[in-house]
Amino acid sequence: MIVKIGIIGAGIGGCAAAYYLHQKLPDSEIYIFDKLDRVGGRLYHRQIESITNELGATFFHTVNKNIMKLVTEFNLPVNEYVYPRFGIWNGSEIIFTSSRNSLVTNLKLLFRYRLTALKLNGLIKTAKKRVLELYQPNQPIYTNLKDLFTVGNINEWIGTPFDKLLRSMGISQKFVDEIIEPSTRMIYAQNAGIGSFAGLATLISSDGTPLYKLKEGNSTLAVHLAKKSNAQVKLSTDIQEIKELNGKFTLNYNKSLDDFDAIILAAPLEQAKLTLNFDIPSFEMRFYQRTYFKLISGKANPSYFGKTNVDEIPELLMTQNVSSVPFTVLENLGQLTQGNFLYNLVSTNPITDELVKELFQEIKQEEDHFWEFSYPVSKAIDDYQPIKLYKNFYYINAIESTASTMEASILGAKTVTDLLVHENQS
């Protein structure tokens, strides 16, 4: 009988697992461990004056049924995420700029890319319909991700590179290069060859349906999940070794030993660097994308982009995959009280002082952030990492190989906790 459960990782997946376990096994003891000094993992925001900047997941969509249900259940205040006016920079010019009027933007897309824009709308509608099948009631208990993603035939997307899928659907290469790939670079810091399920998740967010973010920061969802679970949360606690003996798992932390009936790993196995005294299945380890952020208070240099005034630069500047572009995204987050603007500059390489001096005519303050494991390097896959590594030892982050999002992590947590409960009640 499962009485005591240890969860390694206090991100959205680990905290969701704790919450679902508390609902299904209310008499169990649940512990959450994380080496960071805060709950949220890769969900993290910075509040600067009235501006909330998400340095992890930026928004969620109404198609994210698990998130929407939790937000409603916890009565969490939300703000609508209004997509800023965006532009595409190719290293020498801004080749496309949207309008604040969505109808005008659609007409501009239709004029530049012809029927491709209409074909894309059809693909997005199909993707939403198939994704929503994941939320049908009375789903079975899944022991692996391949069976889970037979729903809606999502396996087909997971096994296909996104750029290849788009071309097979009649989406022009010009549109892929100029619109799709800058979007995947913004969301995943990767190009259009990512797995199609991850790529379609990017497209669904542009369907015109309202997007939302939590008023107090998206990481607060993880905080609320942890509180509602009644779990004991152990922060600044790095679990490096797990020993199994006679069906019990021993964790060594803070110079003490503690035994658990089950373990849920809610962090990338590639990052956890655990020492185990038992064998787990062999599978391909993933590479992870590094992402560098620099928050800058100041004013951008319009001449860098061939402009005269700062307000001619779109609020969200995405970039093409060309060697002359040294960053992935530059976003103007809004104006501060002293008249300067707050910018978020993002790159997959360290952001140099020289680049900042080129991009900005005025710099008042800078703040650096770095994610060593922001997202798995996405690609089409046929073999999934297992969600069960050993008897009573489960793995949420296997799902990141399909799409690395808040909703995917919660889906992974639901799948794993359903399996844990089912196996121990059988």
- Please answer whether residues 376 and 198 qualify as being in contact, where contact means their C-beta atoms are separated by less than 8 angstroms: no
Q: How far apart are CA 248 and CA 170, in angstroms?
A: 54
Q: What is the reported pLDDT for 117?
A: 84
Q: In what order do the strands lie in the sheet with 316-319?
A: 94-97, 86-89, 316-319, 329-335, 341-347, 288-300, 360-376
Q: What is the pLDDT of residue 59?
A: 94
pLDDT score recorded for residue 408: 97
CB 296 within 8 A of CB 366: yes
Longest CA span, the chain: 72
Strand ranges (E), 124-186: none
Residues 6+ apart with CB under 8 A from 287: 270, 376, 377
Q: pLDDT (tens digit, 0 to 9) for every residue of the chain, 426 residues total? A: 789 999 999 999 999 999 999 999 999 999 999 999 999 999 999 999 999 999 999 999 999 999 999 999 999 999 999 889 999 999 999 999 999 898 899 899 999 998 898 899 899 999 999 999 999 999 999 999 999 999 999 999 999 999 999 999 999 999 999 999 999 999 999 999 999 999 999 999 888 888 999 999 999 999 999 999 999 999 999 999 999 999 999 998 888 899 999 999 999 999 888 999 999 999 999 999 999 999 999 999 999 999 999 999 999 999 999 988 999 999 999 999 989 999 999 999 999 999 999 999 999 999 999 999 999 999 999 999 999 999 999 999 999 999 999 999 999 999 999 999 999 987
Q: Which CATH class is domain 84-104+288-376?
A: alpha beta
Output the pLDDT for position 349: 96
Query: In whole angstroms, how far apart are CA 278 and each of 246, 266, 389?
Result: 12, 19, 10
Closest to 266 measured CA to CA, from 6, 51, 44: 6
398 DSSP assignment: G
pTM of the entire structure? 0.95
Letter for the amino acid at 195? G
Residues 6 or more apart whose CB falls under 8 angstroms from that of 194 comprise: 161, 162, 184, 188, 378, 379
Between the CA atoms of 187, 311, 340 and 210, what dihedral angle is there, to the nearest 10 degrees? Answer: -40
Report the topology of domain 4-43+215-287+385-425. FAD/NAD(P)-binding domain (3.50.50)
Q: Which pLDDT score is estimated for 251? A: 95
Give the residue extent of every domain in the chain. 4-43+215-287+385-425, 84-104+288-376, 114-205
* Intrachain domains 4-43+215-287+385-425 and 84-104+288-376 with the same fold: no
